[in-house]
Structure 1
Amino acid sequence: METIIIILFVLGYLAIAIEHNLKIDKLIPALVMMAALWAIVATSHMDVFEVNAELKELEATDIQSILLHHLGKTAEILIFLMGAMAIVEIIDFFDGFGTIKKYIKTKNKRKLLYIFSILAFILSAIIDNLTTTIVLVTIVQKVVKDRQLRLWFAGIVVIAANAGGAWSPIGDVTTTMLWIGNKVTTLALIEHVLIPSIACVAIPTFIASRLPIFKGEIEGEEDLEEVAGSSSKYGPTMLYLGLGFIIFVPIFKTVTHLPPYVGMMLSLALVATFAEIFSRKKFALTTFTQDDENQVAYHSPLHHSLGRIEMPSILFFLGILMAVAALESLGMLFHFAETLSNSIPMLGTESVGEKVSDLVIIILGFASAVIDNVPLVAASMGMFSISIDDPVWHFIAYSAGTGGSMLIIGSAAGVVAMGMEKIDFFWYLKKIGWLAMIGFLSGSVVFILMRNLVLNA
């Protein structure tokens, strides 16, 4: 039966990886895979186990207990993500992200490149890299009329957004998974991954800025300040409130030691309170246009925002995380990790991370460019029984978060940029992929050097 389970998992994984060719949303194979794997485990009465991280061994348990355990851990991640998505939608309800446009005050291509790169890096550390890419590519479309130049800007935004999300516990789904799964803490993650992430984005951005495409000024007669426009009256306030309360979540967890989703729900409630107050003032003090009436039809910013949460993404995460949990419960990932660690030659210090080779984690980074990084990280969490804040977890956060930039389909940020600008797969591979690879490898080297300096100190 184990062979059948592995075959089903591989087929499901393959269907997720080639969703664009199959023209089937990846949530479908993820949910089918989850249900099929657990059904086989239940009907075949297979033994299930829970990994004891302290004893580094498997402990037998019953299927109902293990299902409840994994569902609880998965629900923590999903509720956290739903809260974050809702806050982002509330900000967008007031056109809060339009405030960012005021920073665009130059026509110099090279300066614009650095502005968008820095904005993507910072924003994605607070909101997710997917939302950051949508916001900034939308602004690029309004500022840059030359499509070829826009493609380059979009490519650099993808690299910067993925790098920015890697060092923040709230910046990327995979780092959020590691954070909620008690694999990393906020301060340690920032301390060990921030500088490698800066190298990952700074080097490709600098190289790109020297290319002929970024010489001179953008074409067009429009005044950039006019193009940037101004956000609605409460837009800036809601932007700063929303981002501030998202940043508050790690602080809340540190102080209370409660799961992160509790802090995110509190932040959502507070942001929604201000949104309700502002929306009443907004509609009371203006003359209704047709657009205003349509907005009022949503009843409130909170209802509007909850209705716009990406449920397909939430269901995909549910399916893939619970499918990986099935393999973990059977002990397959635990044994696979042992085999992997013993078969791949060590790179780096053996005392690090229970003899997990740096090469294994670098390969994981390259794999995340082809395969969705969520199941990769989920699998690694079940493979390695390593203590919290071990350098291995920090390296996995970096590799899984930034490796996907090497292919346009390798990250959610890349996929959304591909859809918004109709970026060709091979164009990205030829023009942007090598820059992303240089950035990824540069950051990896910086991480390894920093880690070894600390260990040898």
Structure 2
Amino acid sequence: MFKFISVLVLLLTNVAYATNTAETPNLVNTWVGIATLAIFVIGYFIIANEEKYDVDKSLPALFVGIFTFLLIALYFIMNDLDIKLVHEEAENVILEIAEIFFFLFVAMTYIESLIHMGVFDRLKYNLVSKGYSYRKLFWLTGFLSFFISPIADNLTTALILSTVLITIEKEKTEFLVPGAINIVVAANAGGAWSPFGDITTLMVWTSGKGQFMDFLYLFPASVLGYLVTAFLLSLIVPKTKPAFDADVEVPQMKDGAKTIIFLGVITIVMAVISHQFLDFPAMWGMMFGLVLLKFFSFKLRKKYGSEHFNIFYSMSKIENNTLMFFFGILAAVGALYFVGWLTLASVVYHPNHLGPTLSNIAVGFLSAIVDNVPVMSAILKANPNMDISNWLLVTLTAGIGGSLISFGSAAGVGVMGKLKGVYTFGSHMKYAWTILVGYFVSICVWYFQFEMLKLY
């Protein structure tokens, strides 16, 4: 406990130890550094209470992200500093945002296209007509999320499975809320043990901190932690069955639906290939998949008319507030990193403070609050002296720690957009204790496997 308190003191008093780079000045002790942190905290508070204030989460996120960078630029001009540094950092942030923005854009376009083509209505019919109870459907969607995520990435998986969830049931919150949490936790846990299942795992892998096969050793910790959380959540889910009318007409998928499913799979493969083998951003492969979908849309329009399938109609149905939220929150975190707050990771990793293991455990909580991508970026830049077991631990905690808060991960934000008004910050925090239990189970499994048995 004393060590955790000492870290809080470090964050408040000894910030002078933290540095950005040799070129960028440390701004944490300046008025702009303090203002950036204060504005972020206020914005975070409003986001967390979006239901209370009846404000869309994208508004405070955009304001914080854009305004803080303007403040930093103003500070540089007032103090005759090199404004080029701010310009370069803004470009870096824009590049990071663009990669995520267009990745999301394509994924959402495919999902809306599948909805329009009746794929999810047919899937819902197939599930409900089998007589599965809400609890069985809960486990089914969770397992699908956990095992699809390592291949398709956690965000795409969460978007797809949350769409399935809302087509099964649109009103029963005692099924929807734990079901949504289950999908988010499963997607993040499944993505943690695959080198391209989560962006943070991918960052650690491409930085050379571990080989491809090393990350597979995280499977026991990921799956057991998830199963504990899922079991606790399942106790809340009713054992009753969704209403099903045997006389209802079987939903039929439109012509071309199966081809769009196939193109979606090809798009995911192209995203992996473009990044893993061509050293391109993953969104490049996603955008190529969008090109394929546009070609197919042109073919369907010629054959069946514009009412059958129109890709621009699918684009118009995208949750734009989710995209704007990502833009704002990534810009805000970029500002925090630029002024020097996130580089405090290099201090707490020192053996005189928390040390690697406790710091990596704390990373999970920080990832939930701030966002795991910039946190992992700061850790990799600080490059603390750790062995492979601790690099895998921080991969695990950063990946699954984002599940602790509804918008602590890309998967959570995506599901919030899909189940708007149902899956919210408040509804998530009501059951956050189940995720916390699973989080510590994962850490215990890691400790037993890596530190005691040395099985890696």
2:278 pairs with one of 227, 233, 256: 256
Task: Note if contact 1:38-1:326 (Cα within 8 Å) is conserved in structure 2.
Answer: no
Aligned residue for 1:342, secondary structure, equals coil
Matched, 1:8 2:35: yes
Distance 1:179 1:273 in 2: 36
Matches within 5 A, 1:130-145: 130-132=158-160, 134-141=162-169
1:198 pairs with one of 195, 199, 223: 223
Distance 2:284 2:315 in 1: 17
- Structure 1: runs of 5+ lacking an equivalent: 49-60, 285-291, 347-355
- Structure 2: runs of 5+ lacking an equivalent: 1-26
- In the other structure, the counterpart of 2:297 is 275
Task: Note if contact 2:163-2:418 (Cα within 8 Å) is conserved in structure 1.
Answer: no
Aligned residue for 2:277, secondary structure, equals helix
Distance 1:176 1:437 in 2: 21
Aligned residue for 2:255, secondary structure, equals coil
CA offset at residue 333 of structure 1? 3.7
CA offset at residue 199 of structure 1? 2.2
- In the other structure, the counterpart of 2:257 is 235
Distance 1:185 1:277 in 2: 45
- In the other structure, the counterpart of 1:119 is 144
Matched, 1:85 2:120: no
Task: Return the letter of the residue paired with 2:345.
Answer: A
1:148 pairs with one of 174, 183, 198: 174
Aligned residue for 2:350, secondary structure, equals helix
Distance 2:39 2:134 in 1: 44
2:396 pairs with one of 393, 398, 404: 398
- In the other structure, the counterpart of 1:287 is none
Q: Which moved more, 1:91-100 or 1:358-367?
A: 91-100
CA offset at residue 42 of structure 1? 4.4
Task: Note if contact 1:85-1:309 (Cα within 8 Å) is conserved in structure 2.
Answer: yes
- In the other structure, the counterpart of 1:107 is 132
Task: Return the letter of the residue paired with 1:178.
Answer: M
In structure 2, do the counterparts of structure 1 residues 258 and 233 end up closer, same or farther at CA, with 3 Å as the change threshold?
same
Task: Return the letter of the residue paired with 2:107.
Answer: A
Identity of aligned residues (%): 22
| Structural RMSD (CA) | 4.1
CA offset at residue 168 of structure 1? 5.2
The two structures have a TM-score, normalised by structure 1, of: 0.73
Task: Note if contact 1:99-1:236 (Cα within 8 Å) is conserved in structure 2.
Answer: no
CA-to-aligned-CA distance 1:383-438 (integer Å, 9 cap, x gap): 4433999665654443344334344565325634763436793x6545x3332222
Distance 2:333 2:390 in 1: 20
Aligned residue for 1:247, secondary structure, equals helix
1:338 pairs with one of 336, 346, 350: 346
Matches within 5 A, 1:18-167: 18-19=46-47, 20=50, 21-22=52-53, 23=55, 25=59, 26-46=61-81, 62-101=85-124, 102-104=126-128, 105-125=130-150, 126=152, 128=156, 130-132=158-160, 134-141=162-169, 147-167=173-193
CA offset at residue 455 of structure 1? 6.3
Aligned residue for 1:128, secondary structure, equals helix
The count of corresponding residues between Structure 1 and Structure 2 is 411
Task: Note if contact 2:404-2:432 (Cα within 8 Å) is conserved in structure 1.
Answer: yes
1:378 pairs with one of 374, 377, 381: 374
In structure 2, do the counterparts of structure 1 residues 115 and 378 end up closer, same or farther at CA, with 3 Å as the change threshold?
same
Distance 2:277 2:80 in 1: 43
CA offset at residue 305 of structure 1? 3.7
Task: Note if contact 2:367-2:375 (Cα within 8 Å) is conserved in structure 1.
Answer: no
In structure 2, do the counterparts of structure 1 residues 448 and 151 end up closer, same or farther at CA, with 3 Å as the change threshold?
same
CA offset at residue 62 of structure 1? 4.8
- In the other structure, the counterpart of 1:288 is none
In structure 2, do the counterparts of structure 1 residues 261 and 156 end up closer, same or farther at CA, with 3 Å as the change threshold?
closer
Aligned residue for 2:420, secondary structure, equals helix
In structure 2, do the counterparts of structure 1 residues 264 and 62 end up closer, same or farther at CA, with 3 Å as the change threshold?
same
Aligned residue for 1:107, secondary structure, equals coil
Q: Which moved more, 1:197-206 or 1:385-394?
A: 385-394
Aligned residue for 1:256, secondary structure, equals coil
CA offset at residue 319 of structure 1? 4.0
Task: Return the letter of the residue paired with 2:163.
Answer: V
Distance 2:330 2:202 in 1: 10
Task: Return the letter of the residue paired with 1:378.
Answer: P
